[in-house]
């Protein structure tokens, strides 16, 4: 292993140097991968030297998500203490189903989840949670708990009623997929309109629920988004909780993107009423910058978590109480240790450090928004208190500009759609950036856009 660690250090050194000097990789065509990289697998082994050179080419030509030019998705940057935790996780290679093989990490996961529950205001005695392989799967777990809480027979007999669930038109696409996976059916997802700021229209939600009940259907679940994927909008949790409490529906808050505002005194009002929800998803791999993937789901109803996910397995659970056999509350059997990297980060910088990171992202977004508002060639589409800055520049089609910026190796940024508009979606998710990095983004963006003939770009 020592030899591999030496190679690891050499490759990482080269990568770190390149991230600064040449922050955006020019990717060739995906059809050419096999020609450019030596990825074909053969029967015979290769030498360590050959392996190193194959690896070097791959590592140095992989998109550089930790560079200062990456604003493409809702993750990015590299936070050293969280990365250290992840590297150690790989070396330890435990599975988080039992105390017997997880050891102290079981306690670490529970500590993180309890801290989140108490921060939200969920009752300590009855709340709990788990780490799942991403926000989509955390959301899936919430839907399964809600389904089983609505009708406990479904686990054994299957779905026999027409269940319906509610979310906004701007919710993450995992809600539709999860409706399919859970047996509810994509056709039984009600997409509620949003207002001009991308927030679910609460009165339309209630109208739809009433109509479905009147028609003899079975409403059971409402998904609220805290930080919509494109605009970064926060639905009104309190307003929706009034409705879900009235009709006795499970209220889930999908905070995969924006849920980390729970750490910020300044911004946690965006998710006010969260303590009234039944479950909550948060992805530390987005706003908090831990390596992918790191997603957690917490619920006020720990007993439902156990009810929906536990299954006896005598070969596996051979001692210790269920409180330490975390496999009993997880979606999977073997489960990666995603809690440790988040704990490492939290332990090292404290809750104050997490708060500063979240505040910094909002500050950086303010810088971006101010820039757009103060420069006449831009049009702004997003709103205050969002870490997504959505804009267009000089009527250049955003798809063309974003694709060209990447293919010319300049910047990584994506585009999004809200209602009838398509725009560049610039997201601040790397809290290690500074104001000057944001200004530099816009300067590079303009310089490039003004120098390219977009009629020739695909
Ligand atoms: C609001 C929201 N929910 C869920 C997800 C899915 O999270 P993951 O990519 O970890 O599955 C995303 C991803 O961008 C998101 O923005």
266 CB contacts (<8 Å, ≥6 apart)? 359, 362
**DSSP states of 294-349:** -EEEEES-HHHHHHHH----TTT--SS-TTT-GGGGSS-SS----HHHHHHHHHHH
- Rounded Cα distance, 221 and 223, in Å: 7
Question: Which residue has a Cα nearest atom 16 of ligand 1?
Answer: 229
Question: Can the peptide bond before residue 293 be classed as cis, meaning omega within 30 degrees of 0?
Answer: yes
Task: Name the residue among 176, 240, 172 with its Cα closest to residue 208.
Answer: 240
* Phi, psi for residue 244 in degrees, rounded to 5: -65, -35
Which ligand 1 atom lies nearest to the CA of residue 74? 14
- Rounded Cα distance, 110 and 103, in Å: 12
The token duo for 82 is 């969280």
pLDDT digits (tens, 9 = 90+) for 219-258: 999 999 999 999 999 999 999 999 999 999 999 999 999 9
**Among 256, 261, 386, 387, which is best to mutate for testing ligand 1, by the most ligand atoms less than 8 A from CB?**
256
pLDDT digits (tens, 9 = 90+) for 48-74: 999 999 999 999 999 999 999 999 989
- Rounded Cα distance, 305 and 141, in Å: 8
- Rounded Cα distance, 148 and 420, in Å: 38
Which ligand 1 atom lies nearest to the CA of residue 136? 11
Please give, one letter per residue, the 3-state secondary structure of 222-240. EEEEECCCCCCCECCHHHH
Residue 12 sits at the vertex; the CA angle it makes with 387 and 364, to the nearest 5 degrees, is 15
The token duo for 331 is 């979606």
**Among 75, 134, 257, which is best to mutate for testing ligand 1, by the most ligand atoms less than 8 A from CB?**
257
Under 8 Å between Cβ of 329 and 305: yes
- Cα 282 to ligand 1 centroid, rounded to whole Å: 9
Which ligand 1 atom lies nearest to the CA of residue 227? 1
Is 94 a residue whose pLDDT tops 70? yes
pLDDT digits (tens, 9 = 90+) for 395-441: 999 999 999 999 999 999 999 999 999 999 999 999 999 999 999 99
In this structure, the residues whose C-beta lies within 6 A of any atom of ligand 1 are: 74, 134-136, 139, 172, 174, 225, 227, 229, 254, 256-257, 283, 293, 295
Binning pLDDT at 50, 70 and 90, where does residue 318 land?
A: confident
Q: How far is CA 174 from CA 189, 223, 304, 441, in A?
A: 12, 11, 21, 31
Token pair 């810088």 is at which residue? 367
**Among 75, 132, 136, which is best to mutate for testing ligand 1, by the most ligand atoms less than 8 A from CB?**
136
Is 322 a residue whose pLDDT tops 90? no
The token duo for 108 is 């670490």
pLDDT score at 458: 66
Burial (Cβ within 10 Å: 0-12, 13-18, ≥19) of residue 355? buried
- Cα 394 to ligand 1 centroid, rounded to whole Å: 31
State how far Cα 448 lies from the chain centre: 30
The token duo for 411 is 């910047």
pLDDT digits (tens, 9 = 90+) for 189-200: 999 999 999 999
Under 8 Å between Cβ of 201 and 167: no
Question: Which residue has a Cα nearest atom 14 of ligand 1?
Answer: 229
Task: Identify the CATH assignment for 94-344 out of 3.10.129.10, 3.10.300.10, 3.40.640.10, 1.10.240.10.
Answer: 3.40.640.10
- Cα 172 to ligand 1 centroid, rounded to whole Å: 6
pTM listed for this prediction: 0.96
Is 453 a residue whose pLDDT tops 90? no
Neighbours of 41 (CB within 10 A): 4
The token duo for 374 is 């103060």
Question: Which residue has a Cα nearest atom 8 of ligand 1?
Answer: 135
Q: Percent of the chain scored above 90 by pLDDT?
A: 94
Sorted by where each begins, the domain ranges of the chain are 2-65, 94-344
- Rounded Cα distance, 210 and 213, in Å: 5
For residues 333-354, average pLDDT = 98
Neighbours of 312 (CB within 10 A): 7
């Amino acid at each position: 292993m020592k030899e591999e660690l030496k190679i690891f250090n050499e490759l990482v050194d080269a990568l770190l140097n390149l991230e600064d000097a040449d922050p955006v990789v020019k990717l060739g065509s995906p059809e050419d991968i096999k020609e450019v990289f030596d990825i074909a697998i053969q029967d015979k082994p290769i030498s360590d030297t050959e392996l190193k050179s194959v690896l070097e080419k791959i590592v140095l030509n992989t998109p550089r998500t930790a560079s200062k030019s990456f604003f493409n998705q809702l993750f990015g940057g590299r936070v050293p203490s969280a990365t250290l935790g992840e590297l150690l996780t790989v070396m330890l290679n435990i599975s988080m189903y039992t105390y017997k093989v997880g050891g102290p990490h079981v306690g670490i996961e529970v500590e993180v989840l309890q801290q989140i529950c108490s921060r939200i205001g969920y009752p300590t005695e009855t709340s709990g949670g788990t780490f799942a392989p991403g926000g989509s799967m955390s959301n899936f777990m919430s839907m399964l708990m809600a389904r089983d809480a609505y009708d406990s027979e479904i686990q054994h007999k299957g779905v026999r009623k027409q269940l319906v669930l509610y979310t906004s038109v701007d919710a993450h696409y995992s809600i539709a997929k999860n409706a399919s996976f859970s047996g509810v059916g994509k056709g039984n997802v009600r997409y509620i309109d949003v207002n001009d700021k991308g927030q679910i229209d609460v009165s339309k939600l209630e109208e739809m629920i009433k109509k479905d009940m009147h028609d003899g259907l079975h409403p059971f679940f409402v998904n609220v988004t805290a930080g919509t994927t494109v605009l970064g909008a926060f639905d009104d949790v309190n307003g929706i909780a009034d409705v879900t409490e009235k009709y006795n529906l499970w209220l889930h808050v999908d905070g995969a993107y924006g849920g980390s505002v729970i750490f910020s005194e300044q911004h946690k009002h965006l998710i006010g009423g969260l303590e009234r929800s039944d479950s909550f998803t948060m992805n530390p791999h987005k706003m908090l910058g831990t390596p992918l993937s790191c997603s957690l789901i917490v619920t006020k109803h720990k007993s439902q978590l156990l009810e929906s996910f536990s299954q006896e397995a005598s070969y596996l659970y051979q001692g210790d109480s269920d409180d330490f056999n975390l496999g009993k509350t997880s979606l999977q059997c073997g489960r990666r240790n995603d809690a440790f990297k988040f704990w490492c980060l939290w332990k090292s910088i404290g809750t104050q450090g997490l708060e500063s990171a979240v505040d910094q992202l909002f500050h950086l977004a303010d810088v971006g928004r101010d820039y757009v508002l103060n420069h006449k060639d831009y049009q702004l589409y997003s709103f205050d208190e969002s870490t997504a800055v959505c804009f267009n520049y000089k009527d250049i089609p955003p798809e063309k500009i974003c694709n060209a910026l990447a293919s010319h190796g300049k910047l990584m940024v994506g585009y999004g759609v809200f209602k009838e508009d398509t725009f560049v979606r610039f997201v601040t998710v790397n809290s290690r950036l500074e104001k000057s990095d944001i200004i530099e983004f816009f300067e590079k963006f303009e310089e490039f856009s003004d120098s390219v003939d977009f009629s020739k770009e695909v």
